Amino acid sequence: MANSVGAGAPTPVKEVTTASFRADVIAASATQPVLVDFWAPWCGPCKQLAPALEKAVADTGGKVALVKMNIDDHPQIAGQLGIQSIPAVIAFDKGQPVDGFVGALPESQVRGFIERLVGPLGAGGDELIAEAEAAAAAGDTAGAAALYARVLTEDETNLKAIAGLAKLHVDAGDLEQAKGVLSMAPPPATGQSPDPVIATVLAALHVAEQAASVGDLGPLEQAVAADPGNHQARLDLALALNARGRRDEAADHLLAIVKRDRKWNDEAARKQLLQFFEAWGLMDPAAVTARRKLSAILF
């Protein structure tokens, strides 16, 4: 297991023994709080807690130290502290136990526990993702990508970071790279749909692949002008318009097909419109407007 004691430099978490406890914990806590993670190799929740605990300690930038004690090999200290179940984390400061918790708490609660000792921590995963989203919205794609990558170095299965980074590649037209990033996402459980943040990017990727296959606007616009009932040309035109960011126009062409013949090609226009909504985000202004128009047509 690894911990970053300062500015992201990984170092092994020290295993303390009954003999070394006084030096590694009691004496060491004179200069900084020391967290003792009481664990055992057979303890599943201990393994769940460790990454969140190590990450939160790393985010203190060296203000807090973390050590581990295997209670199977060294039960005496845990017994003296009255620890009856693990994982258990006890914070020592100035030679005394000052706080603690039992159980595999989520990262947010682990961070709150440490912040009670040393104040606010450095940016965690959620904060970094928020920064990445803001950077992407401001057009700083390189900055956003770096922030998403930073999150993924700490948690390679973070779905929000995977989705965010993949979406940057989709928007840049690098669809193969987007697929590579999406492959990092753990597969959904059998019978379950992908997580919504991943599903949104998958929809955007699919729409981008469709758009890449339909070609230029000119011939499609001419085909629709020559025959307004050419639904395939109109659907292809909608895909091409969407690829160029002209979402309202793309939606209007699909709505025109639905209005003329909603059953055409197994409701292809309505289904494509729903896929646009998923790719854009349900609260995107173009999606809100088109959804209202679709409701008026259908109902």
The maximal CA–CA distance of the chain, rounded, in angstroms, is 88
39 given a catalytic annotation: no
CA distance 106 to 212: 42
Return the number of other C-beta atoms located less than 10 Å from residue 249's C-beta. 14
H or E segment to which residue 89 belongs: strand 88-93
* Torsional class of 224: left (φ above 0), alpha (ψ -120 to 50), beta (otherwise): alpha
Query: Can 46 be counted among the known catalytic residues?
Result: yes
Point out the catalytic residue in the list 28, 36, 46, 286.
Answer: 46
Q: Which of 43, 239, 255, 279 is catalytic?
A: 43
Tell me the C-alpha distance between 117 and 239, whole Å: 55
Among 47, 162, 63, which residue's Cα sits nearest to residue 111? 63
Cβ 165 vs Cβ 145: under 8 Å = yes
Query: Residue for token digits 């948690």?
Result: 155
Q: How many CB atoms lie within 10 A of CB 222?
A: 12
Distance CA 240, CA 207 (A): 10
Residue 282's contacts (CB-CB under 8 Å, 6 or more residues apart) are 288, 291
Name the DSSP class of 194.
P
Residues with catalytic roles: 43, 46
